Amino acid sequence: MSPQNVEKSERTQEAQATVQQSAEHMKEEARSAAEAQKERALRMASEQKDRAIGKVNALADALRASGEQLRQKQEGQMAEYIDRASERLNSYADMLRDRDMQDMLREARQMARRNPSLFLGGAFALGFALTRFLKSSQGEAGYGYAGESGYLARGEVQGGYAGTPGGPPVGPAPSAGYAGSGLYGGSAPAESDVTRRPV
């Protein structure tokens, strides 16, 4: 091989080595960037997981308190449902502490594919329970109004009116009937007491 060819071959090999080194350097930089990005993603996922655990625990505590109030209002069956939901949320929070975000998301997607109505059903049950709790916390209100307001309470009969929602105001409370007592208050004469005039 002539000296010119040898020199040309050496330059080619040097160029190839330079290109290979550059490629290896670029790969190493890309690998380092990917690792750094992965670490940032894992750190963010861990922070999000901690926040999620805190929210789940807070929701479980709120449900437990709601269950206690429902139980005090003689809503025992609904209180049991709320307690079970609270226990499951606490169990889920414990599970979150031992799992990473990728596993959680993968399992959530699998669960949604297996039973797409699960989340809707759970949201409906929770909303129903909270609605019952809010209604029960407003007190044992009857239909209409009672007492000094002049409207009827549920199941009462005053002055000839039945206790229906939105009933009209009533006067004194005479006994209901058609003969011997007035329907709207005050005594009305019975038919036998009326002196019939000759026509």
- DSSP H or E run through 161: strand 161-162
% of the chain exceeding 90 in pLDDT: 0
Q: What mean pLDDT do residues 4-32 have?
A: 78
For residue 82, give the nearest of 94, 103, 97, 65 by alpha carbon.
65
Question: What are the pLDDT digits (tens) for 19-57?
Answer: 888 888 888 888 888 888 878 877 887 788 888 888 888
Question: What are the pLDDT digits (tens) for 107-147?
Answer: 767 766 776 665 555 556 666 655 655 565 555 444 333 43
Tell me the pairing of strands 161-162 and 157-158.
Answer: antiparallel
What the block records as the tokens of 196 is 């019939």
